[in-house]
């Protein structure tokens, strides 16, 4: 095995949240590997202390869990392509990292087909049931439900899309037999896997809500005790589900006892939902054109609506371009003030305009260079922008809708795969909140994706673009990304592939990493190691136990309210260099890079 890259990252952060800028800030993000008590003495170390990076010449996989990366490595080594490895990674993640993603959730895929030099995206986002209505998350007094009152149970469950995406994309691009790609997860589920610290810590923290469902409680609390790190855990129900899918194909998930069991579980929950068999029968994965925008000499491409990832990142970068970040210090408070205010402007437009394009058209002019330059002019270096409102890229869109509030809680998973032919998978998958709806069926958890909708359908007398509607896909912040640059012959070539979990902060984690790579010429690992500074709605979030804490007083002097807190991203990515492929895995989680 040549040039084996093994980057296992072990650092994580957690701090109590005292204030909030939006409702989702009330809930702690998924934790990393370390126990809370250990974190008081930990600091962020530079990449050189954590890994010794080498280059892979042939292929590479980066995922959130060692078992998933190892299984995908074998698929690639045995001649499978990136899509084959994608199926294996996701089905293993659904077993070993069930709190983040799985068969009961949804996904977005950005895929580069090197043979045809084609970039495309696949939308496997969950959909609202056909029986859902705009007051789904309102109480009898017309006020929004408390978050966990909405999440826990069947009310929050949308029609899952991950299995359909895996199956349909594999039929179109895969090489190896479907059965062989599910075998690693089947074997792990049957023989057992070692529980990681992140999963063990998450289970311990979530006992109150996991105990609401008998199946979930029995699995995560055998004999009434929470599973422990290092414990071997088997999941025979998950194994049986995968065996059925291996035998009958992915469509079986949507037209069989599996889908009917999900429907029954949702409707019989203490907080019942509205899924029906017709929702499963009607579900479609949608292939969409990637949203691509220029930044300097690069082209940054990603997932368009219903995700706000690509549009918001394009706006952030476009607003910042006139400020020449490559000439500014990555350690300067003023540099981060510019990034912060560009983010705030992008989030204002996101809230106003972005939703499922089958229901709400979005103004393409919001990515227009002249419009973004007009937004840039609102920013004054060294001084916090006072008050942020949506812009008006197109008057007819501005008049139609009002921004609403939706709750996106940090969870989710991201992985990147590059095969021998240089096909690229950049995929983000999720069940939304950690452990989703807490409903477990057939060995996997069901999503709570419907809480990504605005709880209110109207605001200030106007409809909210991201309101609940039957069959609609909730807005997302997931941002699987592939960046291109021109080679010496002027031909566009892949340069970077990356993404992250993290709720609506995904946009910032990815945008900030792109700036580090494209402007400051950092490696992926160096970019992911940099301390997080995030501003979406006016408050400057500063990563606890990081070098960024020294900027707190400076930011306050600029006019910002600040909060020092855990910002637990899960960035994973690969960069193409003259020496070969170079990957990075976020040290805040259990990620592993493997390459040959």
3-state secondary structure of 151: helix
Calculate the dihedral angle through the C-alpha atoms of 514, 519, 521, 524, rounding to the nearest 10 degrees.
-10
d(CA 276, CA 131): 8
Q: What value, to the nearest 5°, has the Cα angle with vertex 569 and ends 101 and 367?
A: 95
**SS3 for 89?**
helix
Cβ-count burial of 559 within 10 angstroms (0-12 exposed, 13-18 middle, 19+ buried)? Answer: middle
Task: Report the SS3 class of residue 75.
Answer: helix
Average pLDDT of the segment spanning 525-533: 98
User: What tokens appear for 259 in the block?
Assistant: 């889908």
Per DSSP bridges, beta strands 193-194 and 291-295 are unpaired
**pTM to 2 decimals?**
0.91
Confidence grade of residue 43 (pLDDT, cut at 50, 70, 90): very low
SS3 per residue for 434-493: CCCCCCEECCEECCCHHHHCECCCEECCEEECCECCCCCCCCECCCCEEEEEECCCCCEE
Yes or no: say if 198 and 282 are a contact pair by the CB < 8 Å rule: no
- 561, 568, 499: which is closest to 531 by C-alpha? 568
Helix axes 66-77, 178-191, angle to 10 degrees: 140
Closest Cα to residue 98, out of 562, 353, 425, 413? Answer: 413
Q: What is the pLDDT of residue 186?
A: 99
In this prediction, residue 372 carries a pLDDT of 99
Q: Burial, 48: exposed, middle or buried (Cβ in 10 Å; 0-12, 13-18, 19+)? A: exposed
User: Burial code of 489-511, b = ≥16 C-beta within 10 A, e = fewer?
Assistant: eeeeebbbbbbbbbbbbbbbbbb
pLDDT computed for residue 493 by the predictor: 96
pLDDT digits (tens, 9 = 90+) for 62-112: 999 999 999 999 999 999 999 999 999 999 999 999 999 999 999 999 999
Angstrom CA distances, 484 to 61, 464, 478, stand at: 19, 35, 19
Residues 6+ away with beta carbon under 8 Å from 80: 88, 175, 176, 181, 419
DSSP state of 294: E
User: In 10 A of CB 526, how many CB atoms?
Assistant: 19
Q: For residue 21, what are its two tokens?
A: 């800028």
Q: How far apart are CA 392 and CA 313, in angstroms?
A: 18
Q: Give the span between the Cα atoms of 576 and 580, in whole angstroms.
A: 6
The closest alpha carbon to 524, from 543, 497, 544, belongs to 497
Lowest mean pLDDT segment, chosen from 351-365, 380-394, 452-466: 452-466
Distances (CA, A) of 286 to 354, 358, 524: 17, 11, 30
Query: Is the pLDDT reported for residue 329 higher than 70?
Result: yes
Beta bridge partners of 122: 109, 287
Contact 87, 81 (CB under 8 A): no
Which pLDDT does position 10 carry in this prediction?
A: 31
State pLDDT tens for residues 240-277.
999 999 999 999 999 999 999 999 999 999 899 999 99
Here the tokens at position 487 are 């080679």
Cα 178 versus chain centre, distance = 25
**Residue found by looking up tokens 């029906």 in the block:** 276
Q: How confident is the model at residue 229 (pLDDT cuts 50, 70, 90)?
A: very high
Residues 274-283 have a mean pLDDT of 98
Interatomic CA distance for residues 71 and 101, integer angstroms: 17
Determine which one of 9, 241, 412, 430 is catalytic. 412
Mean pLDDT value of segment 173-186: 99
Spatial contact of 462 and 445, defined as CB atoms under 8 Å apart: no
User: How many whole angstroms from its chain centre is CA 447?
Assistant: 14
Share of the chain above pLDDT 70, in %: 89
Q: Quick one: tokens of 220?
A: 């995560």
Q: Is the pLDDT of residue 297 over 60?
A: yes
d(CA 169, CA 438): 28
Q: Using CA atoms, how far apart are residues 404 and 127, in angstroms rounded to an integer? A: 19
Place of tokens 């869109």: 397
Question: How many whole angstroms separate alpha carbon 276 and alpha carbon 129?
Answer: 7
- Residue 414 backbone zone (phi > 0: left; psi -120 to 50: alpha; other: beta): beta
Which spans in 114-235 are helix H? 147-151, 162-173, 178-191, 197-205, 207-210, 214-220
Q: Is 488 a catalytic residue?
A: no
Length of the chain: 596
CA distances (Å), origin 457, targets 48, 86, 355, 463, 469: 50, 37, 13, 6, 9
What is the C-alpha separation between 60 and 54, in angstroms, rounded? 12
For the chain, what is the mean pLDDT?
A: 91
Peptide bond into 306 cis (omega under 30): yes
For residue 38, pLDDT beyond 90: no
What mean pLDDT is predicted for residues 546-572?
Answer: 97
Half-sphere exposure of 311 (CA within 13 A, CB side): 29
Rounded Cα gap, residues 342 and 534, in angstroms: 11
**Residue 577 CB neighbours (<10 A):** 11
């Amino acid at each position: 095995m040549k040039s084996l890259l093994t980057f296992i990252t072990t650092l994580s952060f957690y701090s109590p949240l005292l204030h909030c800028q939006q409702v989702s800030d009330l809930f702690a993000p998924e934790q990393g590997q370390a126990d809370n008590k250990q974190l008081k003495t930990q600091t962020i170390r530079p990449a050189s202390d954590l890994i010794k990076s080498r280059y892979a010449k042939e292929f590479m996989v980066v995922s959130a869990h060692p078992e998933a990366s190892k299984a995908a490595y074998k698929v690639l080594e045995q001649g499978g392509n990136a899509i084959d490895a994608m199926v294996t990674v996701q089905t293993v993640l659904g077993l070993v990292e069930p709190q983040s993603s799985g068969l009961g959730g949804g996904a977005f895929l950005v895929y580069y087909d090197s043979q045809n030099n084609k970039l495309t995206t696949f939308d496997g986002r969950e959909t609202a049931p056909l029986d859902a209505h705009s007051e789904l998350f309102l109480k009898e007094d017309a006020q929004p439900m408390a978050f966990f009152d909405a999440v826990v149970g069947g009310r929050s469950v949308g029609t899952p899309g991950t299995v359909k995406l895996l199956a349909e994309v594999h039929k179109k691009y895969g090489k190896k037999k479907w059965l062989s790609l599910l075998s690693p997860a089947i074997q792990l589920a049957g023989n057992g896997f070692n529980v990681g610290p992140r999963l063990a810590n998450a289970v311990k923290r979530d006992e109150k809500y996991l105990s609401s469902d008998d199946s979930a409680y029995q699995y995560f609390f055998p004999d009434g005790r929470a599973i422990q790190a290092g414990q071997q855990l088997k999941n025979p129900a998950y194994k049986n589900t995968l065996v059925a899918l291996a035998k009958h194909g992915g469509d079986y998930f949507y037209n069989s006892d599996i889908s009917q069991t999900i429907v029954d579980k949702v409707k019989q929950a203490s907080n019942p939902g509205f899924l029906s068999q017709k929702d499963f029968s009607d579900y479609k994965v949608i292939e969409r054109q990637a949203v691509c925008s220029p930044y300097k000499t690069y082209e940054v491409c990603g997932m368009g609506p219903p995700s706000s990832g690509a549009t918001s990142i394009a706006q952030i970068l476009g607003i910042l371009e006139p400020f020449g970040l490559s000439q500014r210090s990555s350690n300067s408070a003023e540099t981060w003030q510019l990034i912060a205010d560009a983010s705030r402007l992008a989030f204002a437009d996101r809230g106003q305009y972005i939703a499922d394009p089958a229901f709400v058209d979005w103004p393409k002019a919001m990515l227009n260079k002249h419009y973004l330059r007009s937004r840039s002019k609102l920013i004054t270096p060294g001084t916090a922008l006072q008050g942020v409102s949506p812009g008006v890229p197109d008057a007819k869109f501005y008049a139609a809708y009002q921004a609403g509030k939706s709750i996106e809680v940090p969870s989710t998973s991201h992985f990147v795969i590059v095969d021998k032919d240089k096909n690229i998978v950049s995929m983000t998958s999720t069940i939304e909140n950690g452990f989703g709806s807490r409903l477990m069926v057939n060995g996997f958890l069901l999503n709570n994706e419907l809480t990504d909708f605005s709880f209110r359908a109207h605001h200030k007398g106007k409809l909210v673009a991201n309101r609940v509607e039957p069959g609609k896909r909730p807005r997302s912040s997931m941002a699987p990304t592939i960046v291109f640059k021109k080679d010496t012959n002027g031909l566009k070539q892949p340069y970077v592939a990356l993404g992250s979990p993290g709720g609506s902060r995904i946009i910032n984690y990815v945008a900030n990493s792109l700036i580090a790579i494209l402007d400051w010429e950092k490696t992926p690992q160096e970019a992911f190691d940099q301390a997080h500074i995030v501003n979406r709605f006016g408050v400057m979030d500063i990563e606890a136990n990081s070098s960024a804490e020294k900027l707190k007083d400076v930011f306050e002097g600029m006019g910002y309210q600040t909060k020092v807190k855990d910002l637990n991203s899960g960035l994973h990515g690969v960069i193409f260099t003259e020496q070969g492929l170079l990957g990075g895995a976020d040290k805040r989680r259990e990620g592993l890079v493997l390459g040959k």
